[in-house]
Structure 1
Amino acid sequence: MSAPHTDVEQVEAANAAFYEAMERGDFEDLSALWLAPSDLGVDEEYHDPADTGVISCVHPGWPVLTGRGEVLRSYALIMANTDYIQFFLTDVHVSVTGDTALVNCTENILSGGPAPTGSEELGPLVGQLVVATNVFRRTPEGWKLWSHHASPVLTQNDEGEDEDTPS
C-alpha cells in the first residue's frame, strides 16, 4: 500500500493506527498517537500544559477524562484488564478543516477476558456496538488524537424496550 498523500488519507491512517495499537495492547504506540503539549510547540518548563491542547477522552459509561495523565492511565487500565480486543470499524466519515480533523465511526468491538476457571484460554467473547468521535490535530509529526468520545448504541429488545447492545 502506498503512503497516504491527502489530509483525509493521513487522518484515516492515524485513526486506524489508534485502533490497531489498542488491539495489539501496545501502550507505547498508543501514547505516541495522542497529542502532547510539545506537539503544539508548548515548552512545558515555562507554560502550563493544561493551557494548550488538553486532550480528553470519554469511554462508554465513564466520566470525561482530561489531560494526558488521566487519559493514558485509562488506556493502561483497559489494556491490563482486556486479554483480547478487536475493532471492526464501519460508517467511517472523515472531515478535515485546516489543522483539525473529525472522524465519526461505529466501533463494532469484540473483546474477551480471562476464562473464569483461571485457565490460559480466553473467557467468553463479548460484542459491543459503540459510536465514536475522534478529533485529531495536525502536528509536525503528523495527525495526533486530541479527543476520543465513545458512546454505546442502544438497541431494542423483542418487546420494543431500549437496552444496551446485546453481548
Structure 2
Amino acid sequence: MTAAHTDVERVEAANAAFYEALERGDFEQVSSLWLTPADLGVDETYHDPADTGVVSCVHPGWPVLTGRGEVLRSYALIMANTDYIQFFLTDVHVSVTGDTAVVTCTENILSGGPAPDDGEELGPLVGQLVVATNVFRRTPDGWKLWSHHASPVLAENDEAEDEETPS
C-alpha cells in the first residue's frame, strides 16, 4: 500500500469520525477533531488561540464562523438543540496534497426528535440534502479539520419555481 493510499484512508476515517461524533452528540470528540494552535506549532502566550490558524465553518444558512472558539460554540449550540441527527454520506471524494486534504461529499441528513429510546416512536423527521467540503490538515496526532463548508441543495421543484418567478 502506498503512502498516498494510506493518507486517503486516514482522511476518510477522520471525516467519518467527525460525522459519527455529531450523530452521537459527542462534543468532546467533535472538539478533538478540529485543529488547535498547538497542532499548528503556535505559542499561545503570544497569539490568541481562538484566532490562530483560523479554522472556519459555514453551516447551511449561517454566516462564516472563524476561530476555534466560535466554530466549537456553533456545534455545541446545534447539539443542544437537535434531538436526533443522522448523516448518510454519498459522493465522497478525497484529495490529498502534502499535509492538506480536501473531502467533498453530499450529506443526506435526517434530523428531528426525540431520538429513539427503548422502543419509543421517533417524532417527526426532516430530511435535508447538503453538499459539504471538509478541509483537513495533517498533525502529529493525525488528520484534523481546518474548515467545514456546507450548502443546501435546492430540490428540483424549488429550481422550477425559481425559473418561473419573474425578476
> If the TM-score is normalised by the length of the shorter chain, which range does it land in?
0.7 to 0.9
Sort the Cα spacing of 1:51 and 1:127 in 2 relative to 1 into closer, same or farther, 3 A. Answer: closer
* CA positional deviation for 1:162: 4.5
Residues 50, 69 of structure 2: 8 Å contact kept: no
Q: Which residue of 1 aligns with 2:110?
A: 110
Q: Which residue of 2 aligns with 1:135?
A: 135
Sort the Cα spacing of 1:162 and 1:23 in 2 relative to 1 into closer, same or farther, 3 A. Answer: farther
Q: In 2, Cα distance between the equivalents of 1:129 and 1:136?
A: 22
Q: Which amino acid aligns with 1:86?
A: Q
* CA positional deviation for 1:131: 0.0
Q: In 2, Cα distance between the equivalents of 1:67 and 1:77?
A: 16
* Map 1:45-124 → 2, pairs under 5 A: 45-49=45-49, 52-114=52-114, 122-124=122-124
Deviations 1:48-71 (A, max 9, x none): 446641100000000000001110
Q: In 1, Cα distance between the equivalents of 2:159 and 2:101?
A: 40
* Cα RMSD for the two superposed structures: 2.1
Q: In 1, Cα distance between the equivalents of 2:108 and 2:155?
A: 14
Q: In 1, Cα distance between the equivalents of 2:49 and 2:106?
A: 31
Q: Which amino acid aligns with 1:87?
A: F
Q: Which amino acid aligns with 1:85?
A: I
State the TM-score, normalizing by the size of structure 1.
Answer: 0.86
Residue ranges of structure 2 left out of the alignment (5+ in a row): none
Deviations 1:80-122 (A, max 9, x none): 000100000000000000000000000000000349xxxx864
State the TM-score, normalizing by the size of structure 2.
Answer: 0.86
Q: Which residue of 2 aligns with 1:37?
A: 37
Name the % identity: 90
Residues 51, 68 of structure 2: 8 Å contact kept: no
Q: In 2, Cα distance between the equivalents of 1:51 and 1:29?
A: 21
SS at match of 2:93: strand
